[in-house]
Amino acid sequence: MGVGLKRWLDAGIVLILACSCMHAAAAAEVKDSGAQKVAKEITWSDEDESDNSGIGAKHIIGMVEKVLVDPGDLLLDARIDTGANKTSLDAQNLQIVNEDGQDWAMFSINGTAMRGRVVKYVRIKQHGTTSQRRPVIMLKVTLGSVTQNVNATLTDRSNFKYKMLVGVNFLKDHFIVDVSQKYLTKPVPSP
């Protein structure tokens, strides 16, 4: 080991020892003023620094929840997927119709005919398959007491158990997902 490196290491050890001694002296000084104050000074408390944007402001939901989807006023079981960036909805018999220069998606879900204006198209790449071009429509989705307008891709989900997949674009900033639970909430329609 070089002489310069050894000096830096020795200086670092001296600095660490000096800081430890100062911390011990400060703790002893606080300890003299009462045991309760020592606990407050040494341990961090939620009451000391509250942040409303943290866990307290978010709803805990399970890996499967009931959601209300509009248009259509449909109540669906939805798979909550924190690994999916976008929300996805089952679209049986999907047809894209152009009316006055605007694309509209016509489809059915659980036997209910639906129609939505296509806001854009996206390419979705799934592991082991070729990418798919999917239409995206705007949906009003209610999960628990949270109602949001969210972009949802349309695809044939007939091979999946759940007709809707709720992705991060809906969940972000509002929910914490407990994957060991299901149906922790039910939709409360907004007035």
Q: What is the pLDDT of residues 173-189, one digit of tens each?
A: 999 999 999 999 999 87
- pLDDT computed for residue 168 by the predictor: 97
Helices (H), 33-167: 35-42
- Binned at pLDDT 50, 70 and 90, residue 7 comes out as low
Q: What is the pTM of this model?
A: 0.68
* pLDDT above 90 for 163: yes
Predicted confidence (pLDDT) at residue 90 exceeds the cutoff of 70: yes
Cα torsion 166, 169, 174, 176 to 10°: value is 60
pLDDT tens-place string over residues 23-33? 444 444 444 44
CA end-to-end distance (rounded Å), the chain: 73
CA–CA distance, 29 with 23 (Å, rounded to integer): 10
pLDDT reported for residue 1: 52
15 pLDDT tier (thresholds 50, 70, 90): very low
Delineate the domains of the chain, giving CATH numbers in brackets.
3-42 (no CATH), 59-178 (2.40.70.10)
The pLDDT tens digits of the residues spanning 107-120 come to: 999 889 999 999 99
pLDDT value at 21 more than 90: no
pLDDT-based confidence at 125, cuts 50/70/90? confident
Burial (CB count within 10 angstroms: exposed 0-12, middle 13-18, buried 19+), residue 28:
exposed
